[in-house]
Chains A and B, each alone.
Chain A
Amino acid sequence: MTRLDLTPVEAPHSSSLLSKVIAQGRYETRITMTNGEQLLVSIILPLLALTGLFVTGLFDTADGPSTIDIATPGVLALSVLSSGLTGQGIATGFDRRYGVLQYLATTPLGPIGLLMGKVLAVLMVQVTQVVVLGGAAVLMGWSPHLAGLGIAALFIVLGAMAFTGLGLFIAGTVRPEATLALTNLLWVILGAVGGVVFPVADFAGSVVIEFLPSAALGNGLRSALIDGSFDATAFVILTLWGIILSVGTIRWFKWR
């Protein structure tokens, strides 16, 4: 048996921020991937949405892209919304209630480490989501514009940052029950009319919606995967939301 050495370390010995973020990201990913409710929100619901849109052929036109080509980028955007906003928001809200965040606040992880670790976890889960949802979409006839794959990856990273920031901002400032209600409500509203799954131009015509992070993510992914083009406006809007929500979270997040 190894002898237990508890001699105190006399100098600060926190791991580097990068090491802590990677460690937290791996740890959170494992928790997410072994949690049935999280899998339901992150993969099953977006898969159902994809299948539903495919079966109804909602966006089919005579000469335009097929429903599956329009729906797949939107459903990928929805899955980012699900894992970032709903998944991490609710999990963090309950971690806060049970004192887990209060405990983490006393460790060297810190708020930036926690936020970045959770963003990393969302991205790691996102890889699974892209494989599952993308694979299912290909089986349904999806043919993405290959030149836009890199751009799409960039938008997914920005989306993960913005929506994880939003989820943590809500979880860190309101009660867990309110977090549950608010994140689910936002998921439904943004998912339905926030320009995620359905292109904004196709209904309502509201200018405001275009400036939401949901619409920016949906538009950016659709431009990339349907036309292979870079939507600069969506990029700027999503980046700004990512910065605002991350700074807001770090500034106002309450650990208990």
Chain B
Amino acid sequence: MLSLTNVHRDVPTRSGRFQILKGVSFEAKVGEVTALLGPNGAGKTTTLSIAQGIDKASSGTVRLLGANPYRAGAGLRSQVGVMLQEGGLPMAVTGERLLHHLTRLYQAPADIEALMDRLQIHEFKNRQIRRLSGGQRQRLGMAAALVGRPRVVFLDEPSAGLDPASRLIVFELIEELKASGVCIILTTHLLEDAQRLADHVVLIREGLVEAAGSVEELTATELRPPLTFRTSRSLTEEQRADFPAHLTLLQGSSSAKFGVWRVTGVQGPADLHAVTGWWLRHDLMPTDMGLSGKSLEDVFWELTTHDKA
């Protein structure tokens, strides 16, 4: 359905050229959700833009439904649905008018009434888009992406700004699309969303694919789970410098809670002893601690912070 092979993208700057993508390769398949993850500025949105055919790759190969998507004809675009991160919705029209207009671009569009029902758009369908909340615009953007009953759907941050109830509606719809055989490519900052929805995860960092695979494959890369502990105060530079050198101490999580620490590389009781000895030396009493199964979040933090730890 979608394949990117060694895709590079660079843009001119005053001091030369800046490489946004440095050789991105991955595939997205029918009936699967592929999640692109990465920190801000990693190149996720550029990757999506190139895959959608909005941007052109500087080099490399992109195939979407067997064709090059850049400047593709109407035939290919009728089989692809896109939800942009910023929405891309016209401000001066109502949601219902926009959706009805979009149906006229396709020969076999989705039933708009049923689509509005499912995404609970009826309650604000007659309101100008400029007057909608962020979550309402997200739902409308998703409906716009699905009007053409696409074979491939790109969703850029589909759950951003949604309340829990709306998030559930969107998730159920993504599951239903997957079951219908749609190829779904999404980006998200919420790793729990990716863990729940994705069949295949592509972790992008600084324009490169840092890791790729199923959630199970990525979280099973280490035999032992990480040690997690919480302290009532932040650690000093001196305390961190004294941490056992053969283990890795990482701060925080995506939720950025103060005083949460992860220790990776724990292989057995001797490593635990080294950590408790370090606590003793610095008179640190954890308020919480445990060994838990590795999550996608752990993988993300390890891969995106390993140079900075």
Contact = CB atoms under 8 A, between A and B. Distances in A.
Contact of A106 (B52, B92, B111, B151): B52
Interface residues of A, number: 41
Contacts of B105: 14-15, 20, 23, 107-109
A11 to B, nearest CB: 8
A103 interface: yes
B167 interface: no
Given A1-B117, A35-B92, A106-B52, A15 B106 contact: yes
A109 B77 CA distance: 9
A171 to B, nearest CB: 14
Contact of A99 (B73, B78, B88, B115): B88
Given A8-B149, A14-B77, A103 B110 contact: no
Contacts of A1: 114, 117
Interface of chain A, helix or strand or loop or mixed?
A: loop
Given A4-B114, A4-B115, A34-B92, A106 B79 contact: no
B77 A102 contact: no
Contacts of B180: 6-8
Contact of A102 (B84, B149, B177): B84
A31 B93 contact: yes
A3 B118 CA distance: 9
Contact of A103 (B82, B114, B181): B82
26 contacts: A2-B111, A5-B114, A5-B149, A8-B149, A8-B180, A8-B182, A9-B106, A12-B76, A12-B79, A13-B148, A14-B74, A15-B104, A20-B74, A31-B90, A34-B92, A98-B87, A98-B89, A99-B86, A100-B89, A102-B84, A106-B54, A106-B82, A108-B75, A108-B77, A108-B106, A110-B74
Interface of B: 52-54, 73-82, 84, 86-93, 97, 101-102, 104-108, 110-111, 113-115, 117-118, 144, 146, 148-151, 173, 176-177, 180-182
Given A4-B117, A9-B108, A20-B104, 11 more contacts: A4-B110, A5-B110, A6-B182, A8-B79, A13-B79, A13-B106, A99-B86, A102-B84, A106-B80, A108-B74, A110-B77
The 5 closest A-B pairs by CB, nearest first: A103-B88, A12-B75, A99-B88, A23-B104, A14-B74
Interface of A: 1-15, 17, 19-20, 23-24, 27, 30-31, 34-35, 95, 98-100, 102-110, 113, 255-256
